[in-house]
Structure 1
């Protein structure tokens, strides 16, 4: 893995507002329970992980520059192309000041199961006002990778542990993608 390419791997997304997930949702709506990590009992944290090969489009959509943010998750990527893990969430518990305190640990595993890269205690939604009931948010930080020429081809797995530090909830999310030579 080339460290110059890693410099962009951890990206801070300082964007606010609701997210449209996929083509079926629009800003300010809630997602069907079936798409989430576990059933929701408000305000229990729920989250979904998607992998995108078009991170700029996702961020433009999130910022309101397009009608909706693409929520399609990809399952393969060619060498030298970015793939970004986005976490969408709802239901983080507010503290006495009305602020969420939620973090995420990202781990990317190589095809042999060894750790390719990991980032701990990233900002899912720390010190920010709790989203109104059922409103979707894009995590404040997300992770991207580029498979380098010397990296192995095959199935990589992205694992994310999402923690609501105000109520002790932890969710385990995972998605896989295949690195191809194309």
Structure 2
């Protein structure tokens, strides 16, 4: 799905409800980071997953989301390096799980907080 020409938009199914023992993926997209004079970008991210009971099974800080040059225009839509798989196991609490991502354009010095959630059944 992802290896498409810039004029083709891939389609992804958004998960709002996830049964236990089924897998879903957190995909982080970005576009238009500042590019250095060498044509390279430096995008980091903080990733946190919070369970309905307040538990935090994932809390990664300053993860590399993208570093390097682009094959296409920086204004195209890109998929970041971390792709997180999630499987709700039998012992995991049912309810609302929250995924928070802060994208950090390190060259531009800006941050973009993003948040989504899904219900684990």
CA-CA distance at 1:130 after TM superposition:
7.9
SS in 1 for 2:52: coil
| Contact 2:33/2:74, CA 8 A, preserved across alignment | no
Match of 1:118 among 45, 59, 79: 59
Matched, 1:147 2:88: yes
Matched, 1:63 2:3: yes
SS in 2 for 1:69: coil
Where in structure 2 are there 5+ consecutive unaligned residues? Answer: none
Aligned residues: 118
Q: What TM-score, normalized to structure 1?
A: 0.59
Root mean square deviation of aligned Cα? 1.8
Q: What TM-score, normalized to structure 2?
A: 0.87
Where in structure 1 are there 5+ consecutive unaligned residues? Answer: 1-60
Whole-angstrom CA distance in 1 between matches of 2:52 and 2:85: 17
Whole-angstrom CA distance in 2 between matches of 1:131 and 1:115: 36
Match of 2:40 among 80, 99, 102: 99
| Contact 1:94/1:130, CA 8 A, preserved across alignment | no
Q: How does 1:1-182 map to 2 (within 5 A)?
A: 61-64=1-4, 69-129=10-70, 131-180=72-121
Higher RCO structure, 1 or 2 (CA under 8 Å, sep 6+): 2
SS in 1 for 2:35: coil
